[in-house]
Amino acid sequence: MMMDEDVEQASLMSFNDRPRAFPNMRSKTYSPLIFRILRKLNVRVVSIILLLCFGAIFYMGASTSPIILFVFIVCIFSFLLSIYLTKWVLAKDEGPPEMVQISDAIRDGAEGFFRTQYSTISKMAILLAFVILCIYLFRSLTPQQEAAGLGR
């Protein structure tokens, strides 16, 4: 009989009063090593280095093919558009507290899902890279490779 009362009480509770049954993924303050290193660098130095790299790529692309130049310009435009859209979305109001609570639950679930997916994919990629490496190392040389003096 006690169980029936608990079930009935739970149905009378509002969504906000119920305890969360899943861990909060955002409570962990983990950031990848590359982001921690980049945060310590001077923003102007990183910007200048990036501009020089993009300028070199732009110059090589322009001297090689107009198609590469076009693709590079489209990529830069798309990147700038994504920055604009990100700022636009993040400037919007999150909504009432009930909506924020639901979106937090969805976000936590999505973060857990992506963490599981990326860990599985990375393990499979490492295994596949090792298999490809083994196949490459133990392959037989073609007559053309032997004639050219290529060996192990």
- pLDDT digits over 22-39, tens only? 555 555 567 788 888 878
Specify the higher pLDDT residue, 20 or 72: 72
Q: CB–CB of 95/87 below 8 Å? A: no
- Distance CA(52)–CA(49), nearest Å, equals 5
Q: Are residues 58 and 104 in the same domain?
A: no
- pLDDT at position 84 is 96
- Note whether residue 122 is domain-resident: yes
CA 103 distance to own-chain centroid: 20
Question: Residue range 85-112: average pLDDT?
Answer: 92
Report which of 25, 45, 44 is spatially closest to residue 114, judged by C-alpha positions: 25
Q: Are residues 86 and 31 in the same domain?
A: yes
- Which DSSP category does 95 fall into? -
Question: Residue range 65-78: average pLDDT?
Answer: 87
Domain-ending residue, one of 92, 107, 141: 92
pLDDT band at 52 (very low <50, low <70, confident <90, very high): very high
| pTM, entire model | 0.42
- Note whether residue 20 is domain-resident: no
Q: Are residues 85 and 58 in the same domain?
A: yes
Please give the structure tokens belonging to residue 118: 């990326």
Q: Does residue 21 carry a pLDDT above 80?
A: no
Show the DSSP H helices in 65-96 as ranges: 66-90
- pLDDT at position 14 is 54
Question: Residue range 91-107: average pLDDT?
Answer: 91
Cα pseudo-dihedral 64, 70, 76, 77, rounded to 10: 170
Please give the structure tokens belonging to residue 17: 């009063």
Task: Tell me the residue range of the domain where 125 lies.
Answer: 95-152
